[in-house]
Structure 1
Amino acid sequence: MKNKSFLFISCDEAKHICDKAQYNEATTWEKFKLNLRYLWCHITRAYVNRNKKLTKAVKSSKITCLKNSEKQQLKEVFHEELEKQHH
């Protein structure tokens, strides 16, 4: 079994922590280790920067979703049409 370093994390672990941090699910300790790796790893830096751009794009988009009531209405219409086709 490989001995894991206390401070230094793998690229895969850094990516996982980056994803968690994007959703505010990373601990302070995880963020610290991510930032430590960020300082010297160009792959981690690129991944973090892409995640930041993606988050910014999603937050600034003008995407609208159906309301729950609209989803329910659409579901009911769908089931009614299915019933008509089976009879």
Structure 2
Amino acid sequence: MKISCEEAQGICDKSQYKEASFWDIIKLRFHLFTCKVCKGYSKKNNELTSLCDRAGLTVLSEEDKEKMKRDLEKKNA
């Protein structure tokens, strides 16, 4: 059940986007209980997620991204 700090970081990042499985979260919690460095990383990651959620950030749709890409390619051609 022991995981590396790198794996803990990956699970922490996945949990930020609600992509971590229940078992991954259990492994992460156990790791955070024993590793202060990863606990600090997780805390900062959670703070960043919270700030982004409160800011109401939005992203471009795939269609808008493609249009922007075409426009930039026209300007550079």
TM-score surpassing 0.5?
Answer: yes
Identity of aligned residues (%): 32
Q: Quick one: which amino acid aligns to residue 11 of structure 2?
A: I
Q: Which has the higher contact order (CA 8 A, sep 6+)?
A: 2
Structure 2, unmatched stretches of 5+, are: none
User: Larger helix proportion, structure 1 or 2?
Assistant: 2
Q: Tell me the secondary structure at the aligned position of residue 7 of structure 2.
A: helix
Runs of 4+ residues over 6 Å off in structure 1? none
Look up the match of 1:26: 20
TM-score in terms of structure 1 length: 0.66
Structure 1 stretches of 5 or more lacking a match?
Answer: 1-6
| Deviation of 1:67 (Å) | 6.8
Query: What RMSD over aligned residues (CA atoms) do the two structures have, in Å?
Result: 2.7
How many residue pairs get aligned? The number is: 72
1:36 correspondence with 2:30 = yes
1:17-67 per-residue CA deviation (whole Å, 9 max, x = no partner) reads: 111111111111111110001111101100110110110111111545567
